[in-house]
Amino acid sequence: MSQTKLAPVSKDTEELVSLYGEIDMGPDGFPRAQWVGRTLVPLRLNPRLQYYLFPEVYLTRILVNRRMAPALAHVLEGIQRQWTYPETVENGLNQFVKCYSFGDGRAPQPCWWGASYWLSPKVQEDTIASVMKLFTKAGFTWGGTFTRKDERRFDYY
């Protein structure tokens, strides 16, 4: 059985493949279930998070890259320690946007491997500054430092 590979379109793609490995894609152009099972793990959420795209849905777990899972769990625990639950709701910190989104964007990026976390658009700049400290302390790269600024995105390398 042949394996479809990502074309190394940039130095960044090569770095991502060196960190996370080749994505084992099927003939439909999406990762095979076996790759997903080897690469992603369910991260249990306590408290559950509201799904930003469908606000009536609350998530008890999300799929993330197994390398990132401990760091993200640490950040989410830090958010719980720093803000009360009503404050997390008021600040949009109780909302989940995405971690794993294969094929999102023109070129491979960490979310293709489940190694990104996006904050809700509801999170205000003063809160982003505090949350950024939690993420960067846990080893994430903040999107506010990217060439194309994305203050609500955190990538794990």
Q: Which tens digit of pLDDT belongs to each residue from 43-63?
A: 999 999 999 999 999 999 999
Of 65, 63, 61, nearest to 115 by C-alpha is 65
The total number of structural domains that make up the chain: 1
58 within some domain:
yes
Question: Measured between alpha carbons, how far is 76 from 60 in angstroms, rounded to an integer?
Answer: 13
Whole-number pLDDT of residue 8: 52
134 within some domain:
yes
150 within some domain:
yes
Whole-number pLDDT of residue 149: 84
Q: Is the full-model pTM beyond 0.95?
A: no
Q: How confident is the model at residue 122 (pLDDT cuts 50, 70, 90)?
A: very high
Buried b (16+ CB within 10 A) or exposed e, 110-136: bbbbbbbbbbbebbeeebbeebbebbe
Q: Is residue 5 exposed (0-12), middle (13-18) or buried (19+ Cβ within 10 Å)?
A: exposed
Report whether pLDDT(146) > 60: yes
